Homo-oligomer: A and B are copies of this chain.
Amino acid sequence: MAVDGLSINLATVREQYNMQQAVEACLKHDIVAIAPWRDQIHAIGLSEAARIVADNKLQVTGLCRGGMFPAADPAARAAAIDDNKKAIDEAAALNADCLVLVVGGLPAGSRDIRHAREMVADGIAAILPHARAAGIPLAIEPLHPMYAADRACVNTLEQALDVCDLLGVGVGVAIDVYHVWWDPKLEQQIARAGASNRVLAHHICDWLVPTTDLLLDRGMMGDGVIDLKRIRRSIETAGYHGPQEVEIFSAGNWWKRPGETVLSTCVDRFRSVC
C-alpha cells in the first residue's frame, strides 16, 4: 500500500543510488512519488527515465532543477535560457508536476544583487512561453538568505510571489521548509500563495542546531527545530494537498548510511512528525 503524501527527492539518496536503483528502493518502501535531478536523468538517459516513471506509475513531484539565470556575459545568460528550455522538455517527458527553479545568485565579481534579481525575472519571463506550451509550471524556490550570493537571490516567499505576480500564469513557488521556516511572514505569504494557486511543491527536512555546513548539513525530519506540522497545516489550509517531498543534503550523516535506512527513516518520520 502506497505511503500517501510522501515523495522522495532523489538527492536524498544520491550517494547511494542511481535513478533506477533509487526507484526500486522507493517502491520496496511503497513510496510512489519521486523528484529526480537532471544529472540523475542524464546518467541513465531521458527515455529510460521516462520509461521507469511510466512503467511504475510514479508521480514526479518536480524536476530539479532549472534556474541559474544571472551572468555577467549575455551569451552565458542566453545559454542558461536554452538550458532551461531543455529542462522544461525533460520535465514534460517525465510528466513532472513542475520544474523547480533555483534562480542563481550574483555573477562572479558582482555586488549588484538588484541587477541579479532583474536578470532572474527576465530569465523566467524568457522561458515562460515555452513552459506554458509544454504544460510545465515553473516553481520558483526561494532559498535561505545564506545562499543569496552564490545560489539564489530570491530569498523569501514574499519576494518569490512578487515575481510570480509580475509574470502571471504558469509560475508558482516551491516551499521548502529549510529555506523559509524562520520567516516571520511565513504564514501570511503561504496564505497569499494559496489564494493565487501558486503552491506547486512542499519540500521537507529539518534545521539542525548546530548546523555545521551551509549546504550539506540538513537534518532528517524531527531531528531539528522546524515545526513541520504547523507549516504543513498552513500549506494545506492554503489549498495545497500534494505530497511532501523529502530533500536532505547530508554529507556527514544520511549520505553515508545505507539507502534502505534512509528511506525507512523518511517513512517513519513522515508518519510521526510531519
Please indicate the chain B residues that have their CB under 8 angstroms from the CB of A112 in the complex: 227
Q: What is the number of residues of chain A that contact chain B, defined by CB distance less than 8 Å?
A: 31
Please indicate the chain B residues that have their CB under 8 angstroms from the CB of A227 in the complex: 111-113
B184 engages A117 (CB within 8 Å):
yes
Tallying the copies of this chain within the complex gives 2
B211 engages A146 (CB within 8 Å):
yes
Per-residue 0/1 for A206-243: is the Cβ within 8 Å of any B Cβ (1 yes, 0 no)? 01011100100000000011110000000000000000
- Which stretch (A63-71, A96-104, A129-137, A148-156) binds chain B? A148-156
Per-residue 0/1 for A182-213: is the Cβ within 8 Å of any B Cβ (1 yes, 0 no)? 11100000000000000000000001011100
Mostly, the A contact residues are loop
Q: Does A159 make an interface contact (CB < 8 A)?
A: yes
A111 engages B225 (CB within 8 Å):
yes
B149 engages A146 (CB within 8 Å):
no
Apart from the given pairs A210-B214, A211-B214, 17 other A-B contacts in the complex at a CB distance below 8 Å:
A106-B209, A110-B225, A144-B146, A145-B146, A145-B182, A146-B146, A146-B214, A148-B181, A148-B182, A149-B207, A149-B225, A150-B210, A155-B182, A155-B183, A155-B184, A158-B184, A214-B214
